[in-house]
Amino acid sequence: MKSRSLIVDLMRHGEPEGGDILRGRINPVLTDLGWQQMRVAAALDTSFLATAKTPRWDIVISSPLARCCEFAERAAIAAHTACQVEEQWQEIDYGDWDGMPLSQWRQEAADQFRDFRQDITALVPPNGESFMSFKTRVLAAWQQVRELREANHVLVVTHGGVMRVVLPSVLGMPLNRSFPLHIPFACLSRIKFTWTDEKLSASLIFHNGAAYNRLPTLSL
């Protein structure tokens, strides 16, 4: 029986500049807090962890947007590997909604979003990217990662909307029922692929694991 495995770490970017707005293709950089969130999540910062250690990523892949790729490039250097910037890992293009304050967007997009909860084909941002096109793009990028043969451990630095497509595909969850998934800034989730005699299985090892880095050790 032949067996091999691949670990994929999916990371959402940290807090970007701009406040409470809808971010698709607009390109703000990270705040200082956003940088700190990502360093802690990737174990690149020892200020909260007594024994922080950078994972041995073979490949780092990133969305081209600054809130992802600037960190990904540094993470790749720390892991002594290269950063591959790939267009497919970008956030959905929100078109006319992009950069809109969330309070305004919730009013203007209320009808579409309500329909989207029942039918994922209903979300079509004006002058933007339909959710179905977005889904197809993201799952094609995810398939390319699954087919990597030369790697053991991959980091993908991307966006919340992207993770909201990938994680349900691993869990067998309908996309329009994924709203309970909490995907905060710098969310780090780990997925393990295992091939046994070429039969593939996928497991979610942990989700939002960095949230536990700051918890005190229990005395038992």
- pLDDT recorded at residue 158: 98
In this prediction, residue 45 carries a pLDDT of 52
What pTM was estimated for this model as a whole? 0.90
**In the CATH scheme, what is the code of domain 3-212?**
3.40.50.1240
What b/e readout covers 16-26, taking b as 16+ CB neighbours within 10 angstroms?
bebeebbbbbb
pLDDT at position 107: 92
Per-residue pLDDT of the chain (220 residues; tens, 9 = 90+): 678 899 999 999 999 999 999 999 999 999 999 999 999 888 765 444 434 456 789 999 999 999 999 999 999 998 899 999 999 999 999 999 999 999 999 999 999 888 888 888 888 999 999 999 999 999 999 999 998 888 899 999 999 999 999 999 999 998 888 888 999 999 999 999 998 887 888 999 999 987 765 544 433 4
pLDDT of 53 reads 56
Q: Which residue ranges make up each domain of the chain? A: 3-212
Check residue 54 and give its pLDDT: 60
Distances (CA, A) of 149 to 5, 48, 51, 144, 155: 10, 35, 31, 10, 15
For 31, 121, 164, 169, the CA distances from 135, given in Å and listed in that order, are 28, 10, 10, 10
Q: What is the pLDDT of residue 27?
A: 96
Rg (CA), the chain: 18
